[in-house]
Chain A
Amino acid sequence: MKIRVSRVFMYAFLVVVCFLAAFPYFWMVSAATNKSVEIIKGRLLFGTYLIENIKTLVATVTLGQIFWNSLRNAIAGTLASLIICSMAGYGFQIYRDKYKDRLIGILLLSMMVPFASIMVPLFRMFSQAKLINSTMGIILPSLSTAFLIFFFRQSSASFPMEIVQAARVDGVGEFGIYLRIYLPVMAPTLAAAAIVTFMNQWNQYLWPLIILQKQESRTMPLMLTGLTAGYVTDYGILMLAVTICTLPTLFIFVTQQRRFVAGILGSVK
């Protein structure tokens, strides 16, 4: 009987937590379909105002352009950083020399450097290099993240070295080994890394805020804070915009959740 009670308590706890986790989402979507006045009055049901809200939002901001900016930056950033970090992970795993541990130490340290302490010099460099307002300027600082490199290195800890040696004997070049042996083996890690990186790239705020100074190059998170700049906030439109901003990452997360968890599982060993 005692076990029964604790079971019931456990499920109740889970239900409460799930409600707390999901309610803001539900509210966000339902608010997107309602008129601002009704949202304030506490209306939680889905309304019929979605089309109106979409029309107003499109009239207020260049939604298509902003969405495309975000998407382009996120995809370019994800692809580039996956290539660089997987190569670095490969290098750290396959090559062994006396400087490796020291390099890893530096990498670990760099993980602890807060972005706020490098943003000023970074901005000055980027403005000298004329990278302001460009995709390149957005993605460059996040291309080589220590976290991703570690992620790849940890996951490939049990990588079969015999295969690499066999391939070398057979005359396969280093790049060939990376491309044809390492990457296929690392597919689950690659998938998890891609999900995390895309979400981070899509959601990043501080660096774009600094480096994107033209209206035309704004991204979704920048647009969101722009929408609240006035004195009266139209919640319907704001929540519609928040929903649109959340949809891509939400879609990826819900459909790819299994791979994501599997990838993390592989790395925390």
Chain B
Amino acid sequence: MVQALFLSFRSGLGNNLKFSGFRNYARLFEDLTFHSSVANVFIYLLFQVPIMLFSALILASILNQPDLKGKTVFRTLIFLPCATALVSSALIFKSFFSMDGIINFTLQNLHIISEPKNWLLDPIWSKVIIIIIITWRWTGYNTIFYMAGLQNIDTSVYEAARIDGASASQQFFKITLPLLRPVILLTTIMSTNGTLQLFDEVRTISPGTGFKSTITISQHIYNVSFTNVPQLGYAAALSYTILIMVAFLSFIQMKVGDKV
């Protein structure tokens, strides 16, 4: 079906590569923008995915408590960010952190900073902002998956544990975490893939060809293939690199997920 068509596109790409030989791959090693894009993506990956998944897990276990009051309201509010477009959420945060934005204004009024700071151009803060945006947008989404997983755990397991005198944290680490393993694995792989493919948010934050401190691999591929002079062969080499990275990371996660 259509899926098979997709695969044929990919082999078409392979044929294309043969003509240019390994020149494109050699170029990867000298491409400084590519290096920073890989470094950026790994920084996002390292910080954002654990923070987000851990908070989603905590939120899900709180929301799953049967005697929680106002559950519907809390749930709706926490899931709310999933409804925005990635571009919209990036724009909202971009205006928060822009030179004449509300963050600078507030900090100046509180006399924490003396003059407006250009958050989006700062090499560290710009990454932090990207991480904030993604966490804001996706934590609720992952919470849904964890809640679904939690509801499938038999409550009698917890009752038995409570009778045996297990504390809340013991229950969380000894029962909840192991039983949720498949769902945790699923969300980890989904978020890793999502982060490796990050595009909408960074491109919105930094229009055009982008800032070095935030550029991602997808954005670099887009720039190489669709802005200025298209270099499709090189873009294909970049594409294959990201493909191999995704496959490799997913493979590691599955192996680790099986063992833990």
Contacts and interface: CB of A to CB of B under 8 A. Distances in A.
A268 B183 contact: yes
A122 B16 CA distance: 13
B150 to A, nearest CB: 10
Interface in A235-253: 235, 238-239, 242, 245-246, 249-250, 252-253
Point out which of B7, B10, B148, B225 has the most chain A C-beta atoms below 10 A from its C-beta. Answer: B148
Contact of A114 (B62, B79, B246): B246
Given A118-B239, A261-B148, A265-B151, A110 B1 contact: no
A246 B148 contact: no
Contacts of B217: 116
A48 interface: no
Q: How large is the interface on A (under 10, 10 to 19, 20 to 34, 35 or more residues)?
A: 35 or more
Contact of A239 (B95, B100, B144, B148): B95
B183 A144 contact: no
Q: How large is the interface on B (under 10, 10 to 19, 20 to 34, 35 or more residues)?
A: 35 or more
A269 B196 CA distance: 27
B91 A206 contact: no
A199 B83 contact: yes
Given A120-B239, A249-B85, A22 B77 contact: yes
Nearest to B132: A20
A261 B63 CA distance: 13
B113 interface: no
Interface stretch (B46-54, B158-166, B198-206): B198-206
Nearest to A224: B87
Interface stretch (A11-19, A93-101, A171-179): A11-19
Contacts of A158: none
Interface stretch (B20-28, B102-110, B123-131): B102-110
B235 A40 contact: no
B38 interface: no
A235 B105 CA distance: 15
Contacts of B145: 264, 268
A28 interface: yes
B96 to A, nearest CB: 8
A163 B89 CA distance: 46
A76 interface: no
B85 A220 contact: yes
A119 interface: yes
B260 interface: no
Nearest to A41: B105
Nearest to B194: A114
B207 interface: yes
Given A106-B7, A110-B7, A115-B197, A18 B82 contact: no
A159 interface: no
A238 B140 CA distance: 25
Interface in A110-126: 110-125
Given A18-B77, A107-B3, A268-B183, A116 B92 contact: no
Nearest to A20: B136
B217 to A, nearest CB: 7
B93 interface: yes
Contacts of A267: 148
Contact of A21 (B94, B136, B189, B203): B136
B148 A268 contact: yes
A118 B6 contact: yes
B152 to A, nearest CB: 6
Contact of A225 (B9, B59, B203, B226): B203
B2 interface: yes
Contact of A116 (B73, B144, B221): B221
A246 B92 CA distance: 12
Contact of B225 (A24, A41, A113, A119): A119
A140 B10 CA distance: 16
A233 interface: yes
B193 interface: yes
Given A120-B13, A120-B225, A120-B239, A110 B3 contact: yes
16 contacts: A14-B74, A18-B77, A24-B93, A42-B106, A114-B239, A114-B242, A117-B242, A118-B239, A121-B9, A121-B12, A121-B16, A205-B85, A205-B87, A225-B207, A245-B87, A257-B76
Given A205-B203, A225-B203, 14 more contacts: A21-B81, A25-B84, A112-B247, A114-B193, A117-B242, A125-B9, A125-B12, A206-B222, A210-B226, A238-B91, A238-B95, A254-B80, A264-B145, A265-B151
Interface of A: 6, 10, 13-14, 17-18, 20-22, 24-25, 27-28, 31, 39-42, 84, 88, 106-107, 110-125, 140-141, 143-144, 146, 199, 202-203, 205-206, 209-210, 220-221, 224-225, 228-229, 233, 235, 238-239, 242, 245-246, 249-250, 252-254, 257, 260-261, 264-265, 267-269
